[in-house]
Amino acid sequence: MRTHLDLGCGLSPKNPFGYDNLYGIDIRASEEEKSNATIVTANLAVEPIPFPDSYFNSVSAYDFFEHIPRVALDFNTKSSRFPFVELMNEIWRVLKPNGILYSVTPAFPSEKAFRDPTHVNIITKKTHRYFTSPDFLARMYGFHGNFNLLRQAWVHPRDLYKPKTSNLAELLRDMGKRLMGEQSHLIWEFEAKK
C-alpha cells in the first residue's frame, strides 16, 4: 500500500498521486480534523519530520517552501543553522528509495514570491541545483540527501494540484499562460536516490 505525506497541509492534506494512506503535517494544532488523513502537528522550520526513515512513497509541499527560513540565527550561542537545507534532508530521509517529492512554490521573478510578508525563502529556477545531481550545491551547508530532478515547470496557481500531464490541450493552454506571463509558481518533482 502506498503512503503519501503533505507538508503544510492545514486541515486538508493534498494527495496528488491518489495513494491509499494519507498523512499531513501542519504547524497549527487542530482538534477538528476535516479529512480522512492523519494530521500531525510540527513546526518544520525547527523540528524534524516526525516519521521514520524511508516511510513514504511520496511527499508534497504546496505553497510551503517559501515559508521555511534559509538561515536561522541563535544570538545566545552565536551560531546559525539552515532550516531549509535541514528540511530537504528530512524529506529525503522519510522518502523510500525512488520516492517522489512534488512541490509547488511561488518563484522569482513573479511578484507572488514576494507579496506575502511570511515568504522568507525565495525560490528561483536554479534553486533545485542545491539539492539535485550532479551539482548538490547545498553540500557545503550540510545537505546529505540525493535527489534527481525529474521535472521543473512553471504553472499558473490554478494548476497546482496535479502531477505532470501529457494531454495536448493542457500543454497548449500552459504554453499560452507562459507566453502571457501568468505562470507564477514553480513545480519541482524530485526522485530520492538511496
Walk me through the domains of the chain, giving residue ranges and CATH numbers.
Answer: 3-192 (3.40.50.150)
Average pLDDT, the chain: 89
> pLDDT value at position 52?
98
Provide the CB-side half-sphere exposure for 42 (13 A, CA).
Answer: 19
> pLDDT value at position 175?
63
CA atoms of 146 and 98, how far apart (whole Å)? 10
> pLDDT value at position 155?
84
Taking only the tens place, the pLDDT of each residue in 122-145 is 999 999 999 999 999 999 999 999
> pLDDT value at position 168?
73
Average pLDDT by stretches of 10, the chain with 194 residues? 95 92 87 71 96 98 96 91 98 98 94 93 97 97 97 77 63 62 85 98
Q: Helix, strand or coil for residue 95?
A: strand
Bridging pattern class, strands 56-62 and 21-26: unpaired
Find out whether 163 and 17 touch, Cβ atoms under 8 Å: yes
> pLDDT value at position 16?
92
CA atoms of 146 and 86, how far apart (whole Å)? 13
> pLDDT value at position 184?
87
Exposed (0-12), middle (13-18) or buried (19+): which is 149, by Cβ within 10 Å? middle
* Number of neighbours of residue 147 by Cβ within 10 angstroms: 25
